[in-house]
């Protein structure tokens, strides 16, 4: 839906021009940020940085503090402690309007009585941008977001996806170097969400925006982010590239939160440790009859592959173990099998703290010999 035509030029030129003056221009640094509501801490001493032009996703379950963190960066909430820097400037106590940011709200926050063009131009009108420039920027942004035919409509006359585009257009037209997004796709249906994901990522890269994007949807996080910051209970569980979070989860929480299905965890195999193996790394083998055999409880056929839900025939393992097998392997419920895996794919976590343990591969290898 992004029109790659000549219209995109003005916004893009200005944006890259601005970005070109220095790589730190819209870098975001969050330092030891704290936020309490009535003495109830919601954000606890978190620090992270977003380099200029990168898309950083704040990911986590609801109530983890990710939206509050975004609102602190936006200046919609005052922090209880810590600092926020945008482009090297301390903006911690600056009002929202002076932080050189644009924001897209989960509800879109469109003005219901204004038509699309007035909604998009609201900020420019408030800031007194000359009329001719307003029109030029409006045309350019309307072209980018595919809203050219809807400029005279009121938000109430638009579909959810179109409203989302208006909110996006309003953020883009301000030409601020930083764009904050608060669950922008959560009100759209699945198909539209997939489209908009690609579109927003494309826009962010083309316009060279520094973006902080809040979501609880790990697929959005994994597909869009340069950097994912996984939050839980007001603290950062793990920060890193999507592949880092998937391949080397730093905690049990990260291991369970990232990936569908969540990582399989075995609690009783190693004293003081939790062993984790992802579904696609478990390989079914013929039953051994030695007591550790498993039985297939259910089969979810997905086409390219199938997801087996497997339980122990007898004994301690209560939770189902998920095993991803090729779709061509016609698995049957009730089938007995043994599970094997390459020790290189094992993850070890401290049972007490939940943190990842490194360098315990050798011990694990011995244990897998039992299978």
Partner 1 sequence: MTHQPAADSTAFAASAAGPARQSPWQRWSGSVEAWLLLLPSVVLLATFTHIPIVATLIDSFYSTPRPNRPSRFVGLRNYEDMVADPLFWKVMWNNAVYAVGTIPLSIALALAMALFVNDRIPGRGFLRMAYFTPTVLPMIAVANIWLFFYTPDYGLLDQVLRLFGVGATNWLGMQETALGAIITVAVWKEAGFFMIFYLAALQQIPPDLREAAAIEGASRWTFFRRVTWPLLAPVTLFVLVNAIINAFRTVDHILVMTHGGPDNATNVLLLMIYETGFKFWDQGAATALTIVLLAVLSGLALFQFVVASRRVHYQ
DSSP codes joined into one string, 33-89: EEEEETTEEEEEEEEEEE-TT-EEEEE-STTSSHHHHHHHHHTSS--SEEEEEETTE
State in angstroms the smallest separation of the CB of 154 from partner 1.
Answer: 8
State in angstroms the smallest separation of the CB of 71 from partner 1.
Answer: 8
CA distance 165 to 68: 24
State in angstroms the smallest separation of the CB of 79 from partner 1.
Answer: 16
CA distance 250 to 244: 9
- Of 126 and 190, nearer to partner 1 (C-beta) is 126
- Of 82 and 123, nearer to partner 1 (C-beta) is 123
- Alpha-carbon distances of 161 from 115, 147, 173, 241, 282, rounded to whole Å: 16, 11, 18, 29, 40
CB–CB of 259/366 below 8 Å? no
State in angstroms the smallest separation of the CB of 171 from partner 1.
Answer: 9
- The rounded radius of gyration (Å) of the Cα atoms in the chain is 24
- Of 77 and 199, nearer to partner 1 (C-beta) is 77
Nearest to 34 by CA among 50, 26, 45: 45
- Of 117 and 174, nearer to partner 1 (C-beta) is 174
State in angstroms the smallest separation of the CB of 35 from partner 1.
Answer: 16
CA distance 166 to 141: 10
- Of 173 and 277, nearer to partner 1 (C-beta) is 173
State in angstroms the smallest separation of the CB of 115 from partner 1.
Answer: 11
CA distance 171 to 69: 19
Give residue 17's Cα distance to chain centre: 28
Q: Is 218 helix (H, G, I), strand (E, B) or coil?
A: helix
- Alpha-carbon distances of 65 from 41, 108, 220, rounded to whole Å: 9, 20, 18
CA distance 122 to 308: 53
State in angstroms the smallest separation of the CB of 229 from partner 1.
Answer: 22
Q: How far apart are the first and last CA of the chain?
A: 52
State in angstroms the smallest separation of the CB of 169 from partner 1.
Answer: 13
- Of 42 and 179, nearer to partner 1 (C-beta) is 179
- Of 89 and 107, nearer to partner 1 (C-beta) is 107
Residues that bind partner 1 (CB under 8 A): 74-76, 95-97, 101-103, 105, 107, 109, 111-113, 122-123, 126-127, 154, 156, 170, 174
- Of 165 and 324, nearer to partner 1 (C-beta) is 165
Nearest to 156 by CA among 148, 166, 169: 166
């Amino acid at each position: 839906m992004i029109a790659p035509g000549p219209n995109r030029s003005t916004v893009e030129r200005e944006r890259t021009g601005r970005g070109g003056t220095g790589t730190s221009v819209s870098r975001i640094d969050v330092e030891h940020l704290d936020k309490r509501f009535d003495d109830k801490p919601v954000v606890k001493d978190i620090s992270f940085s977003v380099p200029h032009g990168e898309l950083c996703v704040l990911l986590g379950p609801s109530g983890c503090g990710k939206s509050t963190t975004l609102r602190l960066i936006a200046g919609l909430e005052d922090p209880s402690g810590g600092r926020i820097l945008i482009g090297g400037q301390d903006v911690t106590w600056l009002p929202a309007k002076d932080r050189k940011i644009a924001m897209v709200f989960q509800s879109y926050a469109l003005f219901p009585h204004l038509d699309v063009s007035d909604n998009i131009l609201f900020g420019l009108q408030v800031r007194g941008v000359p009329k001719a420039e307003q029109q030029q920027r409006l045309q350019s942004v309307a072209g980018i977001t595919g809203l050219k035919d809807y400029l005279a409509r009121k938000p109430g006359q638009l579909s959810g996806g179109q409203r989302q585009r208006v909110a996006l257009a309003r953020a883009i037209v301000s030409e601020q170097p930083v764009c904050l997004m608060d669950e922008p796709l959560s009100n759209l249906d699945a198909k539209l969400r997939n489209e908009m994901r690609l579109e927003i990522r494309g826009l962010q890269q083309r316009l060279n925006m520094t973006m902080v994007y809040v979501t609880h949807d790990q697929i959005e996080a994994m597909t869009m982010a340069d950097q994912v910051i996984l939050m839980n209970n007001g603290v950062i569980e793990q920060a890193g590239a999507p592949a880092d979070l998937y391949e080397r989860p730093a905690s049990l929480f990260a291991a369970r939160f990232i990936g569908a299905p969540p990582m399989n965890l075995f609690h009783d195999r190693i004293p003081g440790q939790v062993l984790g193996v992802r579904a696609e790394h478990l390989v079914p083998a013929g039953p051994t009859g030695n007591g550790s055999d498993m039985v297939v409880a259910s089969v979810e056929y997905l086409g390219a592959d199938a997801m087996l839900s497997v339980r122990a025939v007898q004994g301690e393992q209560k939770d189902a173990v998920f095993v991803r097998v090729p779709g061509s392997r016609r698995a049957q419920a009730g089938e007995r099998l043994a599970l094997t895996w390459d020790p290189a794919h094992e993850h070890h976590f401290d049972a007490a703290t939940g943190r990842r343990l490194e360098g315990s591969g050798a011990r694990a290898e011995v244990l897998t010999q039992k299978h």
